[in-house]
Amino acid sequence: MASRIQSTARQLSKTFKKKSRFDIGIASELPTAYKKFWHEWKVLKPVAVHYIPQEGKWKRDDLTGEILPIQNIPIPLKYPNEIHEGIWGGEAVVKGFQKRDPRRRRVPHYWVPVIKRTVVKSEVLNTHLSVTVTDRTISLINDHYGFDHYLLKTPACDLVSMLALKLKKQILTELMNGCPRYAHDPERQKAVYEEYKTYLSSYTPEEIEWYGLSWYEALCKLAKQKEAANRPVPLKNMYRKNLVEKLKAAGIEAAKTPDELSNTTSWLSKMNPFGKKDEA
């Protein structure tokens, strides 16, 4: 009896699946390109920054010799709004407790990364940017041999901030268009494009178009596209088009000669009581 109930429960759990945010309302019409970006941004597991993950499944305690399981549980992080105004290299705010005195209770404490303002150069965009970064961000930029390489090689789950994602999208768009900012220097334009063109193989034009958009921005973009596609045509435009087609089919010219226009008078001018009468 119990096994039958368990099998029924398994079948029901497979039948009734929990709806995701892409199954409700207008979000169900979002393209696959945005779903791919969302998976890269919110679903993929980011690189461990605030703890050192251990390999294997078991470890032995050095003092007691007891065998313990390895649990690489990520530390819960808090992402303030200020994180989207800079590039923090995966760092965030950590909330925990501190025991500042052994004779007193522990107290809540927030560990905030040390941020500083610096200037970075984007070679593809051919511009300098003043952004707030951390020491880890500067180290990652140096490890990737450039700001552009760092953004293009790092997935969205590690960039986190909207500023970094917008810059990455802008760089990809610039590469897709052939680096037009170097149009004044063709040799430099070709060299920059040849250096960074390998990153375009991972994205399609549609994926670049939807890359770096927040959930609200993606829904607004989709709503505008639907509105533009279903925009009603005014009746006057439709009637004018039908009339022109009928005139063309009948072989009648739409425009008259100047002599014919001067000889014809409007019926409104004839009905105007204040108009001048023709002298006999």
151's tokens: 């953004």
Is-contact 106 99, C-beta < 8 A?
yes
The string of DSSP letters for the chain reads -HHHHHHHHHHHHHHSPPP-GGGSGGGGG--HHHHHHHIIIIISPPPP-SS-PPPSSEEE-TTT--EEE---PPPPEE--GGGGGSB-TT--EEEEEE--STTS--EEEEE---EEEEEEEETTTTEEEEEEEEHHHHHHHHHTTSHHHHHHHS-HHHH-SHHHHHHHHHHHHHHHTT-GGGTT-HHHHHHHHHHHGGGGGG--HHHHHHTT--HHHHHHHHHHHHHHHTPPPPHHHHHHHHHHHHHHHHT--SSPPHHHHHH---HHHHH-TTSPPPP-
From first CA to last CA, the distance across the chain in angstroms is: 113
Q: Is residue 141 part of a domain?
A: yes
Q: Is residue 90 part of a domain?
A: yes
> What's this model's pTM, rounded to 2 decimal places?
0.77
Distance of CA 259 to the CA centre of its chain: 61
The pairing of strands 58-60 and 127-134 is unpaired
Q: Is residue 147 part of a domain?
A: yes
- Tokens 């890269």 belong to which residue? 40
Among 42, 52, 113, smallest CA distance to 80 is for: 113
Q: Is residue 201 part of a domain?
A: yes
Q: Is residue 180 part of a domain?
A: yes
Q: Is residue 139 part of a domain?
A: yes
Strand partners of residue 110? 95
pLDDT of amino acid 263? 54
Residue 144's CB is within 10 A of a number of other CB atoms, namely: 15
Alpha-carbon span 179 to 52, nearest angstrom: 40
- Our count of domains for the chain comes to 1
Instruction: Give me the domain span that covers residue 196.
Output: 26-45+71-213
Opening angle at CA 21, ends 20 and 22, nearest 5: 90
Residue 157's CB is within 10 A of a number of other CB atoms, namely: 16
Q: Is residue 159 part of a domain?
A: yes
Q: For each of the chain's 280 residues, which pLDDT tens digit applies? A: 567 777 776 776 666 677 888 888 888 999 999 999 999 999 999 999 998 898 889 999 888 989 999 988 889 999 999 999 999 999 999 999 999 999 999 999 999 999 999 999 999 999 999 999 999 999 999 999 999 999 999 999 999 999 999 999 999 999 999 999 999 999 999 999 999 999 999 999 999 999 999 999 999 999 999 988 888 888 888 889 898 888 888 875 544 455 554 555 555 555 556 655 554 4
The alpha carbons of the chain give a radius of gyration, in whole angstroms, of: 33
pLDDT of amino acid 249? 86
Q: Is residue 254 part of a domain?
A: no
